[in-house]
């Protein structure tokens, strides 16, 4: 009998096909919603940090967009970097995790002044490291993550998670028990471990790599 997984985020067509072409069934539902917030900036320093594509999307409607495109962009994730470049931004540093990006900044750009455009719910590692090392940092929250829970009345061979917020939203109305949780990164995995001891983390934090792990484990 074919294995079926639940994705807690709607996947792109190519991501869906990776699963379906491997004979794995897919059910998908967005368990969180991204809400852009209104924000004002007195000035935009030379260096700007993004740790998610959601932050970039929330910033694209800002009236100072053209000014942002003249700044040095530091970001987390290959997909975020690609999205920034497609929209005309100058990406100078990328890393897989916020903590790794903070280390790069401390080692190579510690005298710079940075603006971190972020979500209300975020991993504190990057900010904590930069503040500890006395790097000038301004944090501005430009989007919020809202839970979109729902009861799913069936069992799956795996559940795909892309943020700690999605784990919390899903588990508020559903139990994982011994179902494998396929997670995009370490913080998502830490949240999933509160609900199941079967946690598989992507080799690198991308949606495609989560899907690859599913295919490897379940095909």
**What whole-number distance in Å separates Cα of residue 156 and Cα of residue 48?**
41
Q: What is the DSSP string of 117-130?
A: EEESS--SHHHHHH
**pTM, two decimal places:** 0.86
Give the model's pLDDT for residue 124. 84
Q: What is the DSSP string of 69-135?
A: TTSEEEEESHHHHHHHHHTT-EEEEEESSHHHHHHHHHHH-TTSEEEEEEESS--SHHHHHHHHTT-
Q: Give residue-wise pLDDT tens across range 53-93.
A: 999 999 888 877 888 899 999 999 888 999 999 999 999 99
Give the model's pLDDT for residue 122. 84
Distance of CA 14 to the CA centre of its chain: 19
Q: Give residue-wise pLDDT tens across range 31-59.
A: 999 999 988 888 889 999 999 999 999 98
Q: Which of 106, 81, 211 is nearest to 159 (CA)?
A: 211
Q: How many residues does the chain have?
A: 219
**What whole-number distance in Å separates Cα of residue 144 and Cα of residue 165?**
11
- Residue 197's pLDDT band (cuts 50, 70, 90): very high
In the chain, % of residues over pLDDT 90: 77
Please check whether residue 43 is in contact with residue 21, taking contact to mean a CB–CB distance below 8 angstroms. Answer: no
Q: 4-31+152-218 architecture in CATH?
A: 3-Layer(aba) Sandwich (3.40)
Q: Which of 153, 197, 193 is nearest to 173 (CA)?
A: 153
- Structure tokens that stand for 28 in this block: 């998908």
Dihedral of alpha carbons 47, 52, 57, 61, sign: negative
Give the model's pLDDT for residue 123. 79
Q: Give residue-wise pLDDT tens across range 4-17.
A: 999 999 999 999 99
Burial class (CB in 10 A: 0-12, 13-18, 19+), 121: middle
Mean pLDDT within 145-150: 95
Query: For 147-153, which contacts have Cβ atoms below 8 Å and span 24 or more sequence positions?
Result: 147/31, 147/32, 147/172, 148/30, 148/31, 148/32, 148/33, 149/31, 149/173, 150/29, 150/31, 152/6, 152/27, 152/29
- Residue 1 pLDDT > 80: no
Mean pLDDT within 142-163: 94
**What whole-number distance in Å separates Cα of residue 35 and Cα of residue 196?**
29
Q: What is 34-145's CATH number?
A: 3.40.50.10090
- Residue 20 pLDDT > 80: yes
> If DSSP codes are grouped into helix, strand and coil, which group holds residue 159?
strand
Q: Give residue-wise pLDDT tens across range 118-130.
A: 999 887 889 999 9
- Torsion of Cα atoms, 126 then 130 then 131 then 133, to 10°: 140
- Residue 151's pLDDT band (cuts 50, 70, 90): very high
Mean pLDDT within 16-31: 94
**Residues of CATH 3.40.50.10090 domain(s) within the chain?**
4-31+152-218, 34-145
């Amino acid at each position: 009998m074919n294995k079926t997984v639940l994705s807690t985020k709607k996947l792109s067509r190519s991501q869906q096909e990776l699963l379906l072409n491997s004979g794995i069934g897919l059910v998908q539902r967005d368990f969180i919603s991204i809400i852009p917030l209104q924000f004002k900036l007195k000035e935009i320093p030379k260096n700007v940090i993004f740790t998610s594509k959601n932050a970039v999307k929330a910033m694209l409607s800002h009236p100072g967009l053209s000014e942002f495109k003249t700044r040095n962009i530091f970001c987390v994730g290959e997909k975020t970097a690609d999205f920034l470049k497609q929209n005309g931004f100058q990406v100078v540093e990328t890393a897989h995790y916020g903590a790794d990006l903070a280390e790069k900044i401390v080692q190579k750009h510690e005298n710079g002044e940075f603006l971190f455009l972020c979500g209300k719910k975020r991993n504190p590692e990057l900010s904590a490291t930069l503040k500890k090392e006395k790097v000038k940092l301004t944090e501005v929250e430009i989007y919020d993550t809202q839970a979109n829970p729902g009861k799913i009345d069936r069992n799956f061979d795996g559940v795909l998670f892309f943020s700690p917020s999605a784990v919390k939203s899903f588990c508020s109305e559903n139990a994982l028990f011994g179902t494998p949780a396929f997670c995009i990164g370490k913080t998502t995995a830490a949240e999933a471990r509160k609900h199941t001891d079967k946690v598989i983390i992507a080799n690198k934090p991308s949606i495609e790599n989560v899907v690859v792990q599913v295919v490897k484990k379940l095909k």
